[in-house]
Copies of this chain bind each other. A is one copy, B any other.
Amino acid sequence: MGRGKISIRRIENPTSRQVTFSKRSNGLLKKAKELAILCDAEVGLVIFSSTGRLHEYASSSMVKVTERYNKVKEESRQLVDPTADVKHQPVKAEVAGSSPVNPDLGSDKYATTRL
């Protein structure tokens, strides 16, 4: 999205990398907020720049997101073969009561195969 196309590989020039980080970091934070609002999702985003600076966003709070994350991970581990490790695939996460508000959630309308 700019004057020229770029390939996704580490930007070697430190100055350019810093500038790009600043721009994209803000863009990512903005998109995270939009997703949370538009889709009523709980989102947690943590970014450390290569210089060590921290940027963050959490629709609720980072602590809540982390706790919910850990809870879901724990549960999913019990559902699959204990010897198999959980990877990047989206996993089921119907943690009753852990999300503040969830209108029209009971109906399982768009249920695809869970797990």
Contact = CB atoms under 8 A, between A and B. Distances in A.
Interface of A: 6, 8-11, 14-15, 17-18, 20-21, 24-25, 27-28, 31-35, 37-57, 62, 65-66, 68-69, 72, 88, 90-95, 99, 102, 104-105, 107, 109-111
A8 to B, nearest CB: 5
A104 B11 CA distance: 12
A94 B54 CA distance: 9
A48 B41 contact: yes
Given A46-B44, A56-B88, A39 B65 contact: no
Most chain B beta-carbon contacts within 10 A, residue among A14, A28, A51, A109: A51
